[in-house]
Amino acid sequence: MNITASRGALYTDSVCSQALTASGVPVVAGDAAAYIRSDTAGVATIIATVVNGPTAQTNLELAAPLTSTATIAVQAEPAVIGTNATSQSERSRLSVVVRDGTVNNNLVKDAVIEFTITSDPSGGSLSTPVATTGSDGSATVDFIAGAATTQTNGVQIQAKIQGTSKTAGTTITVSRKSLFITAGTGNTLEVPNTTQYKQDYSVFVTDATGNPVSGVTVTASVRVVHYYKGTYTTYTQQQVDAMKAAAVAAGLPESSVTVKAGWNAQLTYQCENEDSGTMNGILDTGEDFNLNGVLDPGTPLNVSSSGQTDATGTAIISIRYPKDRANWTAIVLTVRGSVTGTEATYSTQEYILPMLAGDLQSQTNPPGYSNPYGVNPCNIAN
């Protein structure tokens, strides 16, 4: 019988002193035996073939033994984690790799590793104090942060190969997690019904290294900064082209013509939110600039959040507003994210609530054609 192996060498005796020759292994009473030895750890594929007969194949794992020359290394990932006030979500994975220390530097299987916290001002814990290496030579446990912060590298952990003096150490920093938050929107609007627009913002929450942070509670608020009085004017494409030609003839770029074919909002007067001082929604003394007995323009919209960030560190903020307030209302959106006592804030630049392009190209009057805020100066109520 011929026997081959993809790793190591084959022998005829159990102490592996007599190499298997090309003549193969003799079959005695239907049995044939060979022995394998390898200087490298891994899986060997062994194939046995009977001349002019059947073939059999099997896989055999060859593991490196734990020797006095073995080495151990440990790493914490991530090395900086937040505190745990009411949960155990802030963790660092402690990964140990054991090798046999030979020329081939083989990974060692079944080495028992003891983990010990030698310093931890955070009051944390280990998911388990003992772990055993697998075929990849590695073993892992989790360090779970406590409620207190530490100085840089304040948590010190030792990993030791059981029954030996072989050790390795690593450090972890427990701190208030830094959050960074930003938000952005696209160039489309949803139309939930015939009277509303809906504008979605994607909110992104990351840590200081750009990694997504899940489980962050995201809230949002909207402040109306200005409202505008004015009217709509419509232009044909021919009229717009004539304006651009006149601009070029006067030495100006075409971009100096800001009107487009279709309906264009003419913002005649920019009026400040009458509640801009205290922003408390209460008509205080001196705030009623146009003397109509109410605070203009109020808050003609609402904002909602999808809740907490998902595994990608994202959440959705939605703004709904009446179609007739588009082009006449300027707002600032503020988004806040908070987790374990840390808060981050993002605010947009002031911008005017947009209108769907199709509504500006319509042959009929656009929403807000009759300006809900009026056409007169800001000190007049309409």
- pLDDT tens digits, 39-68: 999 999 999 988 888 899 999 999 999 999
pLDDT in tens, the chain (382 residues): 888 899 999 998 989 998 888 767 888 888 888 999 999 999 999 999 888 888 999 999 999 999 999 999 999 998 888 888 788 888 999 999 999 999 999 999 999 999 999 999 999 999 999 999 999 999 999 999 998 888 889 999 999 999 999 999 999 988 876 678 999 999 999 999 999 999 999 999 987 768 788 888 899 999 999 999 999 999 999 999 999 999 999 999 999 999 999 999 999 999 999 987 767 788 888 888 998 989 999 999 999 998 889 989 999 999 999 999 999 999 999 999 876 556 789 999 999 999 999 999 988 999 999 999 999 999 998 8
pTM beyond cutoff 0.85: no
In this structure, are residues 73 and 103 in contact, taking their beta carbons and an 8 Å threshold? no
**In the beta sheet, which residues pair with residue 228?**
270
Of 136, 142, 129, which is closest to residue 110 (Cα–Cα)? 136
| 111 close to 161: Cβ distance less than 8 angstroms | yes
How does DSSP classify residue 162?
T
Task: Give the number of other Cβ atoms within 10 Å of residue 355's Cβ.
Answer: 21
CATH architecture assigned to 71-174: Sandwich (2.60)
Residue with tokens 């593991």: 63
Supply 6's token pair.
């993809």
Can you tell me the distance from the alpha carbon of 32 to that of 208, in angstroms, rounded to the nearest whole number? 63
pLDDT score, position 85: 78
CA 26 vs CA 2, 12, 34, 53, 324: distances in Å: 9, 10, 10, 14, 95
- The size of the chain, in residues, is 382
- Tell me how many degrees the CA angle 164-167-168 measures, rounded to the nearest 5: 160
Which part of the chain has CATH 2.60.40.10?
Answer: 71-174
Give residue 340's pLDDT. 58
pLDDT computed for residue 342 by the predictor: 67
- Residue 178 confidence (pLDDT): 67
Q: Peptide bond before 212: cis, by omega within 30 degrees of 0?
A: no
